[in-house]
Chain A
Amino acid sequence: MKKAYKAERVSWPVTILLILGLITVIFPLYMALVIALKQPSEMTNSIAGLLSLPKSFSLSNFREAMRVTDFWRSLLNSFLITFMNLVISIALHSVIGYVVGRNRGSSKFYGFVYLYIISGMFVLFAILMMPLVKQTAQMGIANMAGIICCYVVFYMPMNMMLYSGYLVNIPLSLEEAARVDGAGTWKTYWSIIFPIMKPMHATVAVLTALGTWNDVMTPLVIMSGSGMNTLPLAQMTFQTQFGTNYNLAFASYLLALLPILIFYLFCQKQILNGVVNGAVK
């Protein structure tokens, strides 16, 4: 820790320690990759055998994993759920954040609405889980639509808080100017306020998308028995089919991790900013 401070110039010892520390991050992924590229016959019980590079490069495990787990179908489901949730969340949560943020100070009703929705943050999924399963089944939405409804509601408290917090930075005079020009409240919102909140849309999008994409529990309880899978859920559903063919299983795991890794590669800065903004606010 002392070293971390003394750095007037570039501190090579710390740099090297940090690079060595990266092994802990990379090793599990390396392990997954080499196993996914090998054939069952190449797997031995020694460490060297398990972790060495494959003799020949073949993507056959990946092809097989895609077939067994119906990869494209699960990917499409995951993508649809995340995308629809994002679109609906950004639309609804920014509206509620705006209305509540603008009126919370002057109206008791909106003050109550704010507290009511915020209190939802404390409600655990554990307590909602079983009633929600019954409820979505009764409503006939024990499918992706039900899951999207759940997500839109689960992320509402946090996102509303983020939006109404951001609204403080937007001067009221902007809206008033539009109103003088004869624009209604609805139109003013969509043409002036919504575009101005763009930085917050990015934060909300990152937090909501990461949470939705990786979530297992909600689709697990709500879609169970429907034969539908999301990408992570498919890994659980097909555990029995993988059996002891770990090469196949690891190919499938990597395929499940790949979309988010690619996304991270291209939007690293936005993701890091979004995550920090969301947590700190």
Chain B
Amino acid sequence: MKKINDRERTYLFMTLPILALFFCFNTLPLIKGVIYSFTNFEGYGSYDWVGLRNYTDLFQDARVGRSYLFTVKLAVTSTVVVNVLSLILALGLSSKIKFKSALRGMYFIPNILGALVVGYIFNYFFTYILPAMTKTTSMLASTRWAWVAIVAVCAWQSVAMNTIIYISGIQTVPEEVYEAGSIDGATGWFKFRNLTFPLIMPFFTINMVLCKKNFLMVFDQIMALTKGGPAQSTESISYLIYNNGMAGGQFGFQSANAVVFFVLIVALSVAQTKFGSSKEEQL
């Protein structure tokens, strides 16, 4: 009996400091964030309780509304673009080709590079190279096209990651499935639509989770490409919270924004889990 108690004590001794650390840097700031969201705190000095005013203001604030629209537009477009491109790429990289591992290695490079520096490199590309090629003005200076440039940069990096995941998905599909399929005359698009895709559905779900995480919280790319401009047309939610919360004296108001954003993300994650698990095909 004593032995067991010793063991349990050791377990507790291992767990409690780690839990304390986790509480201190995750739960505590989360609670503080929620508390700040009910105040008019500017980031310094004294502040007062304002009740739910930040939240009611939030829903009437045009700039906040625009940032949500922009972020959703960016996330949806990027997710579609990235998944289509990476599926095609993964199918190509999984077929019988020369230099297979070298090609896979090369295609993964964008993913390991820091998003901010990649953003700066593309900033130059969109400001100087592309206008010189097409004899137009810079996409980044246009309220209509700046978001497309951001999608392109996000996609450039994310395709690499999603491709690798689809490749590992395609590897899980046994050869016999295709053999059986080819007897029934399944080829090309039909084969992909009815055999490959249903079987790699779990990997599609993983990619959706990754896309959600990458694109809804987009920050580095905005910072490097447009800084929210032109005319605040490319402010993502994260960027707005950072910019106005940290430097703009809206600490309390942007905390409320962050809380709303957080609730939305949790709701989306729950919905995604439900939807994802109901659609998966078992072999």
Contact = CB atoms under 8 A, between A and B. Distances in A.
B132 A129 contact: no
Interface in B1-33: 6-7, 10-11, 14-15, 18-19, 21-22, 24-30, 32-33
A185 B29 contact: no
Contact of A185 (B11, B105, B258): B11
B89 interface: yes
Interface string A128-150: 11111111000000000000011
Nearest to A17: B92
B114 A124 contact: no
Nearest to A28: B121
User: Which residue, of A45, A186, A231, has the highest number of chain B Cβ atoms within 10 A?
Assistant: A186
Contacts of B29: 127-128, 131-132, 135
A155 to B, nearest CB: 11
B256 to A, nearest CB: 10
Interface string B29-45: 11011101000000100
Contact of A31 (B15, B112, B125): B125
B99 A15 contact: yes
A103 B11 contact: yes
A45 B127 CA distance: 12
A11 B97 CA distance: 5
A221 B262 contact: no
A87 interface: no
B228 interface: no
B246 interface: yes
A224 B237 CA distance: 21
Contacts of B210: 279
B98 A15 contact: yes
A117 B32 CA distance: 18
A246 B124 contact: yes
B29 to A, nearest CB: 4
A217 B108 CA distance: 23
A145 to B, nearest CB: 12
Contacts of B266: 122
Contacts of B10: 184-186
B206 A31 contact: no
A3 B93 CA distance: 12
A4 interface: yes
Interface class of chain B by DSSP? helix
Given A31-B121, A45-B132, A126 B114 contact: no
A47 B95 CA distance: 36
Contacts of B255: 127, 130
B259 A127 contact: yes
A126 B22 contact: no
Given A10-B96, A130-B254, A216-B223, A249 B112 contact: no
Interface stretch (A54-62, A165-173, A196-204, A250-258): A250-258
A125 B217 contact: yes
B120 A2 contact: no
Contacts of A260: 112-114
User: Which residue, of A5, A10, A51, has the highest number of chain B Cβ atoms within 10 A?
Assistant: A5
A29 B121 CA distance: 8
A29 B59 CA distance: 43
A1 B251 CA distance: 51
B121 A216 contact: no
A99 B12 CA distance: 9
A129 B245 contact: yes
B116 A130 contact: no
A133 B96 contact: no
B97 to A, nearest CB: 4
**A-B pairs with lowest CB-CB distance, top 7:** A7-B96, A131-B29, A131-B32, A214-B114, A127-B258, A153-B25, A185-B10
Interface of A: 1-5, 7-12, 14-15, 17-19, 21-22, 24-26, 28-29, 31-32, 35, 45-47, 50-51, 92, 95-96, 99-100, 103, 110, 113, 116-117, 120, 122-135, 149-150, 152-154, 156, 184-186, 189, 210, 213-214, 216-217, 221, 224, 231-232, 235-236, 239, 246, 249-250, 253, 256-257, 260-261, 264, 268, 271-272, 275-276, 279-280
